[in-house]
Structure 1
């Protein structure tokens, strides 16, 4: 009869030298808050470059159009769009009148850009 004996072969993992600096919970909080403060300070400094001027801008020339029954925003914009770009004219009319949607009601007055040919 034969016997088999196995000896465990474990290689000892090299141990890393432990650093002498250890952060406590309060130390980690201080490092985190300091980093957060620095990031916010840099963000505020970069955002400070975007400022307006003291002079008023020029208002775009507009005229008033009254909506009649059956008029649509697409129809009004297509009458005004000399370059054929109806969608951009619709967007401009919506912006000028602060419209939430393209629905119009009869009798409504719209401010539209002045068309110059």
Structure 2
């Protein structure tokens, strides 16, 4: 008598309607996560590098216009002064000797 090796063949995997819906939801979540990562990375590409911001100490007789002209020569003076005021949260143009101002990165 010869023994035969009988292998049982399993039917192919079949997904139910609920299983297919679960797979589609999982794929949609993965695509959303990938998009979020890509958009976050792209939006940070233009961020300034971390580290200490450049500063300047105000001397007797300095004005915002003088400082703006020194640190950003060739730039429109009004824009440079506006940047200095915005960055340093200044409500007016008065300065005090010894005051430290944060400078815009160039």
Q: TM-score, normalised by structure 1?
A: 0.45
Select the structure of larger CA radius of gyration.
1
Q: TM-score, normalised by structure 2?
A: 0.50
Structure having the larger proportion of residues in helix: 2
